[in-house]
């Protein structure tokens, strides 16, 4: 009897195990979670009287968050030339791009930002013209910024800023030693560039962010507010000069990262 009972118990256990295996085989394995969307790259377009190194304080803050960053070196010779330089940088990115422009760079990204890879635009104290408009006319109807009296032109039509203009109007919240270096390394711009209109306004079809510099002496804060509103941009404000990327890089990086995270 004991042997028979043991055989029955063993048979029952084997049957249960077989049934369990069949049930497991019939239940499909859960599908793997989808991979997160890759993070957009950031392409930065500097403004007039500067170069890519103007962003040296912001770039490490973005890289610390794993963002791939490219700072374009604009020739500042014309709108078309600067747009072409920005487009080369955009085309070189592996995927989506958040396109950032400062000052004159805002006009450049308004045109270059129509590229398919561009997912969002970020304007830093920048111009944001409408279709058919040029940079120079963006200040019409607003107070004349004091810095505009400190341009100097050479015989070939290249504009630069005087040392006083850089120190007291372009970057009045930076140390004099810093503005002296900025004066020496500034990128002059062809005056004709300010008269060249954009043929497209990328902010009409791309989400936009705008950092308004409320102590700006190069682009009237009132003009900045009007352009940001027209573009339907998400606006943040800082109480800085025309170069918040140097005086408040954390605030600038924060706005760019917001655009990156919302553009996956």
- The answer to whether residue 15 sits within a structural domain is no
- The answer to whether residue 107 sits within a structural domain is yes
Which residues have CB under 8 Å from 153's CB, separation 6+?
159, 191
How remote is the C-alpha of 11 from its chain's centroid? 70
pLDDT for res 37: 72
Number of folded domains that form the chain: 1
How sure is the predictor about 23, in pLDDT bands with cuts at 50, 70 and 90? very low
Question: Tokens for 189?
Answer: 């711009």
Q: Is 238 helix (H, G, I), strand (E, B) or coil?
A: strand
- The answer to whether residue 111 sits within a structural domain is yes
Residue with tokens 């045109």: 111
Torsion sign across C-alpha atoms 242, 244, 246, 252? negative
How far is the C-alpha of 122 from the C-alpha of 116, rounded, in Å? Answer: 16
pLDDT at 17 over 50: no
pLDDT above 90 as % of the chain: 85
pLDDT, tens digit (0-9, with 9 covering 90-100), for 237-258: 999 999 999 999 999 999 999 9
Residue 138: CATH number of its domain: 3.40.50.1820
Task: Check residues 100 and 264 and name the one with the higher pLDDT.
Answer: 100
- The answer to whether residue 246 sits within a structural domain is yes
- The answer to whether residue 46 sits within a structural domain is yes
pLDDT, tens digit (0-9, with 9 covering 90-100), for 104-154: 999 999 999 999 999 999 999 999 999 999 999 999 999 999 999 999 999
- Residue 196: which region, alpha, beta or left (left: phi > 0; alpha: psi -120 to 50)? beta
- The answer to whether residue 27 sits within a structural domain is no
Task: Check residues 30 and 175 and name the one with the higher pLDDT.
Answer: 175
First to last CA, the chain: 71
- The answer to whether residue 184 sits within a structural domain is no
Reported pTM: 0.87
In angstroms, what CA-CA distances link 12 with 6, 7, 172?
Answer: 10, 9, 88
pLDDT, tens digit (0-9, with 9 covering 90-100), for 200-216: 999 999 999 999 999 99
pLDDT, tens digit (0-9, with 9 covering 90-100), for 46-92: 999 999 999 999 999 999 999 999 999 999 999 999 999 999 999 99
Domain that holds residue 61: 41-145+196-261
- The answer to whether residue 161 sits within a structural domain is no
Alpha helices, DSSP H only, in 42-129?
59-63, 79-91, 104-112
The answer to whether the CB of 127 falls within 8 A of the CB of 103 is yes
């Amino acid at each position: 009897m004991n042997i028979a009972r043991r055989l029955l118990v063993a048979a029952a256990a084997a049957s249960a195990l077989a049934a369990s295996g069949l049930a497991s085989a019939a239940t499909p394995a859960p599908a793997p979670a989808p991979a997160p969307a890759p993070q957009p790259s950031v392409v930065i377009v500097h403004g007039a009287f500067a170069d890519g190194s103007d962003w040296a304080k912001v770039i490490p803050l973005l890289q610390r968050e794993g963002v791939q960053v490219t700072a374009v070196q604009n020739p500042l010779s014309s709108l078309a030339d600067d747009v072409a330089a920005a487009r080369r940088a955009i085309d070189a990115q592996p995927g989506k791009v958040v396109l950032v422009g400062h000052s004159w760079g805002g006009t450049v990204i308004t045109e270059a930002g129509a590229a398919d890879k561009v997912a969002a635009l970020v304007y830093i104290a920048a111009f944001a013209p409408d279709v058919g408009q040029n940079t120079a006319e963006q200040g019409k109807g607003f107070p004349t910024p004091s810095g505009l009296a400190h341009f100097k032109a050479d015989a070939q039509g290249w504009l630069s800023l005087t040392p006083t203009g850089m120190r007291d109007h372009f970057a009045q919240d930076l140390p004099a030693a810093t503005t002296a270096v900025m004066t020496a390394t500034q990128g002059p711009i062809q005056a004709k560039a300010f008269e060249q209109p954009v043929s497209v306004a990328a902010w009409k079809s791309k989400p936009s962010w705008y950092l308004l510099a409320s102590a700006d002496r190069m682009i009237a804060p009132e003009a900045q507010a009007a352009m940001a509103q027209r573009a339907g941009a998400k606006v943040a404000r800082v109480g800085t000069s025309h170069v918040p990327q140097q005086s408040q890089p954390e605030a600038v990086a924060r706005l760019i990262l917001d655009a990156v995270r919302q553009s996956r």
